[in-house]
Structure 1
């Protein structure tokens, strides 16, 4: 008969090892239930936000349900609740609809299942194209955009989130004679 406290580790059984009496999952130490409150306090010692605490914990420690427990611990921190800076999101602004197709386009890099893609959307028709990016360099993004411009025409304005792939390619907008506008940092959904 298996102890109930061990059944929660069943799905990780192939990843667990014991070294000098310490249970590990890969390079992370597996902590027993009685030590977890102390570990949660240590992970949140600098009163960092949830994602920072989770990132820090995932590098060093493990137990089943750890992410949810750390998230709950950080959310219930009175100090963080008192002093958190809750900046309101910048309001969304509607872009005027251009008078011709492909006059204004939006572009964005996103990932699905570990693969990166570039989406380019026409503000006039809402037509979009999605391209697989084998690498997310300025050169790869510019090459994909050149193909779109060759098919659809040169836009007057390209809107992006101002990521490094776009900001390092400023000479591209100057050479191809279009205006490059960026959305608010951290609020890239304004491109919609």
Structure 2
């Protein structure tokens, strides 16, 4: 029993060391960081982070991107972002039956702080587009990156990030916090 435990621990250490070397050897081309700014001159990427977060982002399967999309999202952002939005909602929201045999279903949200933040940023960027204070290409690039971060955050330890989101007073500050996150495409 003692030898088996030691062997398992040794295997875990070796595999984690290999994974760390793989991540460290990534080229800068593999790391995606999106700057964002709008016509008002707000540069969301200017703030230097105290600590840079890294989430591993696994590209979604093509069949997952073919989820049914909401027409309101598609009309504003286009088909590609609407597909990411549908994937984001399918990852964060799930149905739960509170009592066995009860036909009522309760909708639950995983990591509600991140979910509500992304929904709020999407609404904020939509309003900024209507006011014409930001460009469509910049806003769509920003929301796509934030949706990718949201999808990646579901499988990561994001407690620190959620606490930082709680401290933010405005949507611009939340966007700046999302811009501090580095996604590694695997």
> Which TM-score applies when normalising by structure 2?
0.25
TM-score, normalising length from structure 1? 0.24
> 1 or 2, which has the higher helix percentage?
2
| Higher strand fraction (1 or 2) | 1
Larger Rg belongs to:
1
